[in-house]
């Protein structure tokens, strides 16, 4: 089978080096496809194409309504091709098909949201003295490098591309080397829509050989990254050399606080969905469960009983509730944290190993895992595991719940489960986190901002904030009564 190529300057091209790599189905370990494998030369080629497309008359000069028309058309094509796109993501990253279908629908919705938003008012005018008029307009930043992870391949591409293109920027998108297939299919749809050459470029390769030189390229104006905090630090350093704009959506160790007055059965399911959706490979996962002492034993018993019945399997099986981890290497990383948890004295009450089903032996499956009686000084409580591993702590009152919840370097997400809405609001306001929920976990909306506090990132995606993140602010001052200034005597 011919290797799948990158999309650069409106053309399908091989890596400059001729390099290729194989991508695998994490549910079976079987090869899925061979794709181009790029490096710094490919990053340079793509950035130069995007630079030309932005600087020459054309894309950035197009009226907002024209950019919106193309995004609306792209949304329609994503919707028409939703089942195929969902199957690609399921095969490539392992998530259950029903999750991938939500992602495809959300990707189309994201394109539509920004297509509609960009034609709405984006500036301001001011009443100023001296017979002048002052105004502020928003203009595109320029060329944006966008580096996305493997857990939401199609949706993250839409989150990055839609606001950037709506604002008039040109883009170089790098999907994860593990999950490039839906991004390549998206490039085919972008080509079909008729975006001009160089406006969208999709390059393939790993972080060290391609992502790092891409982020450091001197002709970039912005770098947007979603992924691990350590890589985010490296991108900040690379961007600092050229004082590039940076958006970072990084890791999390998010608390899910459960009070004794919660509605028990729905809350148990929220806790399960918070950690086991996406096999726990979600930056905003509710990976720390904080239980009020008076219900801790009863709640944990019910949680373990229900979690033990989660159906693991290949994502294309309609009854699968949890899929595999992304790679064997990541499986080993997650299992290593479980071993650390045992060494630290945490009580393993569920999972902690490969599932027993021999039909799953060829994939990267890890059983739903729960640690009870954990402490804040444990590695499994403080560090992002990025797998289906839940750590449970208990608290006596609101103050202790908040203290435990905020006892982390991260601040991406958090939730409160209680039927007392006044208490819910008190606690939510005290959480140092950017995305929060009351009596639910995980729903996201294109209309609302996404991002975190502390080491969980810089800036926000989605909503009006996501569009503003791809714009520069220009002040324009107009003298309405031009004439001599009278400042100089000569």
Residues 62, 71: Cα–Cα separation, whole Å: 13
262 a catalytic residue: no
At 136, list the tokens.
Answer: 């502020």
C-beta of residue 117 within 8 angstroms of C-beta of residue 464? yes
- CA pair distance 419, 259, nearest whole angstrom: 9
The 8-class DSSP code of residue 359 comes to G
Task: Name which of 260, 274, 287 is nearest 398 in CA terms.
Answer: 260
Helix-strand-coil split of the chain, %, nearest 5: 40, 20, 40
CA-CA distance, 470 to 473, in Å (whole number)?
10
User: Of 110, 177, 283, 384, which one is the catalytic site residue?
Assistant: 283
Whether 447 is catalytic: no
Number of residues that make up the chain: 490
Contact indicator for 50, 140 with CB cutoff of 8 Å: no
Enumerate the H helices of 314-472 as residue ranges.
Answer: 328-343, 379-382, 398-405, 421-430, 463-468
> Hey, is 358 helix, strand or coil?
helix
Half-sphere exposure of 352 (CA within 13 A, CB side): 18
How many whole angstroms separate alpha carbon 281 and alpha carbon 277? 8
Residue 173, burial from CB neighbour count under 10 angstroms (0-12, 13-18, 19+): buried
User: Which tokens is 68 given?
Assistant: 């919106």
Q: How far apart are CA 21 and CA 36, in angstroms?
A: 6
Strands 31-36 and 20-24: antiparallel
Rounded distance between C-alpha atoms, residue 466 and residue 117, angstroms: 11
Six-digit token pair at 214? 């891409």
Radius of gyration of the chain (CA): 24
Among the listed residues 249, 292, 321, 384, the single catalytic one is 249
SS3 189: helix
Per DSSP (E only), the strands in 386-466 are: 389-395, 410-411, 413-417, 435-438, 453-454, 457-458
Helix (H, G, I), strand (E, B) or coil at 178: coil
Residue with the two structure tokens 């499994």 = 380
Residue 152 to residue 368: CA distance in whole angstroms: 20
List active site positions. Answer: 249, 283
């Amino acid at each position: 089978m011919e290797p799948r190529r990158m999309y650069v300057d409106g053309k399908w091209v091989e890596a400059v080096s001729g390099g290729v790599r194989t991508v695998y189905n994490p549910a079976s370990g079987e090869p899925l496809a061979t794709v181009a494998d790029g490096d710094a030369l490919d990053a340079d080629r793509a950035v130069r194409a995007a630079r030309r497309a932005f600087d020459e008359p054309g894309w950035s000069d197009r009226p907002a309504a024209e950019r919106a028309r193309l995004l609306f058309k792209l949304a329609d094509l994503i919707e028409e091709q939703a089942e195929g796109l969902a199957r690609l993501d399921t095969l490539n990253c392992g998530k259950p098909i029903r999750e991938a279908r939500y992602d495809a629908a959300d990707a189309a919705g994201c394109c539509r949201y920004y297509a509609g938003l960009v034609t709405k008012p984006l500036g301001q005018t001011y009443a100023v003295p001296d017979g002048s008029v002052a105004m502020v307009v928003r203009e595109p930043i320029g060329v944006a490098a966008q580096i996305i992870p493997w857990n939401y391949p199609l949706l993250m591409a839409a989150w990055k591309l839609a606001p950037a293109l709506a604002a008039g920027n040109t883009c170089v998108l790098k999907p994860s080397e593990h999950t490039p297939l839906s991004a390549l299919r998206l490039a085919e749809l972008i080509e079909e829509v008729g975006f001009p050459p160089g406006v969208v470029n999709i390059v393939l390769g790993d972080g060290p050989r391609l992502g790092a030189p891409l982020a450091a390229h001197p002709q970039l104006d912005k770098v947007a990254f979603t992924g691990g905090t350590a890589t985010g630090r490296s991108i900040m350093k690379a961007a600092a050399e050229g004082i590039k704009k940076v958006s970072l959506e990084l890791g999390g160790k998010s608390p899910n606080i459960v009070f004794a007055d919660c509605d028990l059965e729905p809350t148990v399911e929220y806790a399960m969905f918070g950690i086991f959706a996406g096999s726990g490979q979600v930056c905003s996962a509710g990976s720390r469960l904080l239980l009020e002492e008076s219900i801790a034993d009863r709640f944990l018993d019910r949680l373990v009983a229900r979690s033990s019945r989660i159906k693991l399997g290949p994502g294309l099986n309609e009854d699968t509730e949890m899929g595999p981890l992304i790679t064997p290497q990541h499986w080993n990383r997650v299992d290593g944290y479980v071993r650390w948890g045992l060494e630290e004295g945490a009580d393993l009450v569920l999972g902690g190993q490969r599932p027993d089903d021999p039909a799953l032996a060829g994939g990267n499956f890890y059983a739903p895992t729960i640690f009870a009686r954990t402490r804040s000084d444990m590695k499994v409580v403080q560090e992002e595991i990025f797998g289906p591993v839940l750590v449970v702590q208990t608290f006596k009152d609101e103050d202790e719940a908040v203290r435990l919840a905020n006892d982390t370097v991260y601040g991406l997400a958090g939730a409160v489960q209680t039927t007392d809405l006044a208490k819910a609001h008190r606690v939510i306001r005290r959480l140092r986190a950017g995305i929060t929920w009351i009596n639910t976990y995980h729903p996201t909306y294109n209309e609302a901002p996404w991002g975190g506090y502390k080491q969980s990132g810089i800036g926000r995606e989605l909503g009006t904030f996501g569009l503003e993140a791809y714009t520069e602010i220009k002040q324009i001052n107009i003298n309405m009564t031009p004439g001599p200034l009278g400042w100089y005597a000569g």
